[in-house]
A and B are shown apart, each in its own frame.
Chain A
């Protein structure tokens, strides 16, 4: 009797991984629209102030931008690898890959910190006296630079928290090789952060 009851309970566990992933994708579309609005503002003002955007863009450090691109692409790789590792039942390796992702994320934020503090120490920040003496196009460029890379950086921090929670879940066997949609969804969020950077990098750091 008890055995039959247990089997019945197992069969009635409500679980829909496809639905869970679809929900995550729908959320990601709202994120795309959020950043899309900012990209739209960028596009319009870049066409209006093409020369001033170029002058302002030359001030940005292409090296740091390229390094951060490599770091984020690598962090996306380790997230993808951690899902494969867990699917193969290797809990330890999966955690190692997620740990690597966190290290990459910290490196990204450290670079961002040095980049922003260098700009701020040169007096380039919204509302500074140095900024107000510049042309409208340059003010707009740096305003968008701080808003867009800032919002992106906020997403990196949120992604780190989510991956941290997922790591605890894997440790406690709340996420297993049989049920890992939470890890997949955390990965989807992280890849979106990577996707946005793929467009931010050429638009801000590669203007010539």
Chain B
């Protein structure tokens, strides 16, 4: 029974994460209004990555799950990354 019940964050930490997510959203909208050329996309994707880490770790409880969950997550992320890299190798050097 012990493994069926994991300790999770309480109300306050969820609300802190929510405020952080809203702050990051307003930052990404503000930065999109400034002309930074090619950096705009990189910064927007970086902020989106930080936001997803917050959602995955806290809201989706990955931080509190067994190591095997993190291994699976890393493997699926890596698979996606490899697919992107291989496709762009083909696209750029065609």
Q: State whether A32 touches B44 (Cβ < 8 A).
A: no
B83 touches A36 (CB 8 A): yes
**Which residue of chain A has the shortest Cβ distance to B38 in the bound complex?**
A50
A178–chain B nearest beta-carbon distance, Å: 8
Some 16 contacts from A to B, beta carbons below 8 A apart, are A18-B4, A36-B83, A40-B87, A76-B18, A80-B58, A81-B11, A191-B59, A194-B55, A195-B56, A198-B51, A202-B44, A202-B48, A203-B44, A206-B28, A208-B33, A208-B40
CB neighbours of A47 from chain B (8 A) = 91
| Given A77-B14, A195-B55, CB of A33 within 8 Å of CB of B80 | yes
Q: B interface, by DSSP: helix, strand, loop or mixed?
A: helix
Q: Are B91 and A77 closer than 8 Å at their CB atoms?
A: no
Further pairs besides A84-B8, A84-B9: 16, Cβ < 8 Å: A17-B4, A18-B3, A21-B65, A21-B69, A25-B72, A33-B76, A36-B80, A44-B87, A76-B55, A80-B59, A179-B4, A187-B59, A198-B55, A201-B25, A203-B44, A208-B40
Task: Point out the residues of chain B lying under 8 angstroms from A22, CB to CB.
Answer: 68-69, 72
Residues of B3-19 at the interface with A, using a CB-CB cut-off of 8 Å, are: 3-5, 8-11, 14-15, 17-18
Contacts of A80 in B (CB 8 A): 14, 58-59
Residue B84 interfacial (CB < 8 Å): yes
State whether the Cβ of A55 lies closer than 8 Å to any Cβ in chain B.
no
Nearest-Cβ distance from residue B13 to partner chain A, whole angstroms = 9
Which residues of the other chain, B, contact A184 by a CB distance below 8 angstroms? 61
A interface list, Cβ under 8 A from B? 15-18, 21-22, 25-26, 29, 32-33, 36, 40, 43-44, 47-48, 62, 66, 69-70, 73-74, 76-77, 79-81, 83-84, 87, 179, 181, 184, 187-188, 191, 194-195, 198-199, 201-203, 206, 208
Using A17-B3, A22-B69 as known contacts, say yes or no to A73 and B29 having CB atoms under 8 A apart: no
Q: Given the complex of chains A and B, what is the CA–CA distance between A40 and B80 in angstroms?
A: 9
Q: Are A206 and B44 within 8 A (Cβ)?
A: yes
CB-nearest residue of chain B relative to A65? B29
User: Which residues on A sit within 8 Å (CB–CB) of B80?
Assistant: 32-33, 36
CB–CB B14/A191 < 8 A: no
What's the nearest-Cβ distance from chain A to residue B25, in Å? 5
Q: Are A70 and B22 in contact (CB under 8 A)?
A: yes
List the B side residues contacting A191 at CB < 8 Å: 55-56, 59-60
Cβ of A44: which chain B residues have Cβ within 8 Å of it?
Answer: 87-88, 91
Q: Are B14 and A66 in contact (CB under 8 A)?
A: no
Residues of B within 8 A of A62 (CB): 29, 32
Question: Which residues 23-51 of B have a CB within 8 angstroms of A?
Answer: 25, 28-29, 32-33, 35, 40, 44-45, 47-48, 51
